[in-house]
Structure 1
């Protein structure tokens, strides 16, 4: 695909979406992005008018006719985050959102689609402690979370279960569509929890939801009680946060997928992108050693014992995308903290 091709990137105002837009521009692509109507002007301003932005209020039922005009490839990243909405709405947004844009793109003759899935489509989230901490096996793209739409809608579940169920149902629908439309090349990118810098640190005061996945890091690595509190057991409290990746590597994977070899074998390009675990304990100890000015902000880590984590096969990210090197976890931690402190400074101005 030529570098001056026109890309449609949905969810351009999100954390991963914004970095994907930025890297697409840096690679020479022309970019059209979608965002919620109230974020259209914000997104235009963020990229100095270099990105055309189309407002889409409802990703599951919205009309993409205008947005898809003359588009060469679609990168679909728009989706709610865990805990943002209830099970029914999460499933509708994830499944309906994916299939709505992909069907409309196919009807417009678009031949290449990159879809953002998640590593939560791999383990049995009800038994996640087994699959994540089992050091005798390697998790790969051949694994599938057995959750269903029905199981997500029945009973009470943790947000990560609902999110994983919605995304696994959505991704199965995407691959079913790929089987029926072999003329369309589809790649799914499966990242774990994503850390790294925010491109926009001007967030309304107290709106931790706008921090996306950094909200988890913020609450536990830079807790409100600082050194007076004990760091929580990451593996018990938020098991899906064990594996992690830098947002810039996730964005890079999306851009590399645009020029990956075309494959006829459905499922061939289901690609896990992770650099491995970033235990909060390690993040805190790194910051304690390198950022003495943060000593009062860092929680006590003496009462938590780290646990071994099972391995994940990321070989296809290398063989298909050419993504073989990841940003060092210490840089990810440093840049994440710098972003969060910048957000706090913005909040302080609002006082």
Structure 2
């Protein structure tokens, strides 16, 4: 992508998150002008990180799902919507943000004349075992979510968000809407991300927290949904940028999952080989779960055809593993240099495990 992208303003939600921050960095590296939303303490942190970028404007939006967006969307070329309700949040608010909140953003885009929208879904909103077409959905209902744990509420919220975007794209064919559902996302933090973590906050690691748990010898927290495949966060962000500029097409909803087998056992063996100084910190590879496959049989050729993400360009699992661990250790050193006690948590990184996938 060339530097003449500077005339294109991209509005990004969720820019302080693991995936969203990577999207911001790749947009800026590709020459786009960026308008990123943030709130509370993270507004000042994000603004300071990008203070030297003339083409990056950070705007304070307390609630992206309900606040007036007319000013921030003025002159915007495209929207990359990464913000999402957090796992474990109160269920009624989670569902409301997923549905009415998504509609709020979409209606604001129409009113502002924004024609290109990319949103981050999740691979687990597709049926377990496939198929992975735009009309295929994981069979969870509101009733299921009401009678199970917060993991099901979160899964339902992601599914409903995707459906809102799909239905809106059908009623507004003039919009170029893409819905990308990444698998479990790992990868090194984009440069500067550590500045969003002025003190230890392991939840902010997002799914990388499961990798961080590998650095605890007695770790037993291996999320079952890795059997649905993984993807490097840099590939997730790259897919968003490609989808943003891809030609219009009906029902652009894809699961994006690396074709590389991505098991925790292999990850632990790779770390031990490539970073032998960490052997004393590693969990026991024999405790890692074993499944028949560690990826999904998605139609990557279709993804390449529609958005231009080449099927043979996914970052290899071993590279993701080593560079993620290096990145986590860099954050460790950053915190320790500030005088904080740092220890890999013994509890699960998230308060639930989606067990029905």
Same fold (TM over 0.5): yes
Query: C-alpha deviations, 1:11-69, integer Å up to 9, x for none?
Result: 11111111111111121211111112321221122223421011111122111122101
1:139-158 to 2 correspondence within 5 Å?
139-152=132-145, 154-158=146-150
Q: Are 1:73 and 1:112, in contact at CA under 8 Å, matched by a contact in 2?
A: yes
- 1:151-202: CA deviations, max 9, x gaps? 32x123252x222210111111111111111111111111011111113124
Q: Distance in 1 between matches of 2:324 and 2:274?
A: 14
SS in 2 for 1:216: helix
Shift of 1:143: 2.1
CA distance in 1, matches of 2:209, 2:29: 28
Which of residues 310, 335, 340 is equivalent to 2:323? 335
SS at match of 2:291: coil
Counting only pairs closer than 5 Å after superposition, residues 161-180 of structure 1 correspond to structure 2 as 161-180=152-171
Question: What count of residue pairs does the alignment treat as equivalent?
Answer: 326
SS in 1 for 2:245: coil
Change (3 A) 1:73 1:282: same
Counterpart selection for 2:246 from 253, 260, 263:
260
CA contact (8 A) 1:148 1:169 kept: no
Q: 2:14·2:84 contact (CA, 8 Å) conserved in 1?
A: yes
The answer for the alignment partner of 2:177 in structure 1 is 186
1:215 CA displacement: 1.2
Q: 2:77 aligns with which of 45, 52, 72?
A: 72
CA contact (8 A) 2:189 2:327 kept: yes
Gaps of 5+ in 1: 124-130
Which residue is equivalent to 1:347? 335
Residue 3 of structure 1 aligns to a residue whose secondary structure is: helix
Say if 1:59 and 1:93, in contact at 8 Å, map to a contact too.
no
Residue 313 of structure 1 corresponds to 299
Hey, what's the Cα distance between the residues in 1 that align with 2:208 and 2:176?
A: 32
How far apart are the structure 1 equivalents of 2:281 and 2:19? 27
Structure 2 matches for 1:38-57, cutoff 5 A? 38-50=41-53, 51-57=56-62
* Alpha-carbon RMSD: 2.1
Q: Is 1:273 the counterpart of 2:256 in the alignment?
A: yes
What is the TM-score normalised by the length of structure 1?
Answer: 0.86
Kept in 2, the 8 Å contact 1:76–1:98? The answer is: no
Structure 2 CA distance, aligned partners of 1:158 and 1:167? 12
Q: Cα 1:146–1:304, aligned 2, differ >3 Å: closer, same or farther?
A: closer
Q: Who is 2:34 aligned against? A: 31
1:303 CA displacement: 4.6
Shift of the 56–297 alpha-carbon distance from structure 1 to 2, 3 Å rule, reads same
Deviations 1:271-296 (A, max 9, x none): 22111442111100001111110011
After superposition, the C-alpha distances for 1:303-331 in whole angstroms (9 at most, x for unaligned) are 54622125233233211122121111111
Matching residue within 224, 234, 238 for 1:248: 234
1:250–1:76 Cα change, 3 Å: same
Deviation by residue 1:241-260 (Cα, 9 ceiling, x = unmatched): 64111111111011111221
**Distance in 2 between residues matched to 1:101 and 1:122, nearest whole Å:** 23
Kept after mapping to 1: 8 A contact 2:118/2:240: yes
| Change in 2 beyond 3 A, CA 1:255/1:344 | same
Q: Give the whole-Å Cα distance in 2 for the aligned partners of 1:27 and 1:348.
A: 33
Q: Would you say the 8 A contact 2:264–2:285 is kept in 1? A: no
Q: Quick one: distance in 2 between partners of 1:217 and 1:279?
A: 11
**1:201 counterpart SS class:** helix
Secondary structure of 1:57's aligned partner: coil
Match of 2:284 in 1: 300
**Cα distance in structure 1, aligned partners of 2:93 and 2:150:** 15
User: Which 5+ residue runs of structure 2 have no aligned equivalent?
Assistant: 341-357
Distance 2:290 2:257 in 1: 19
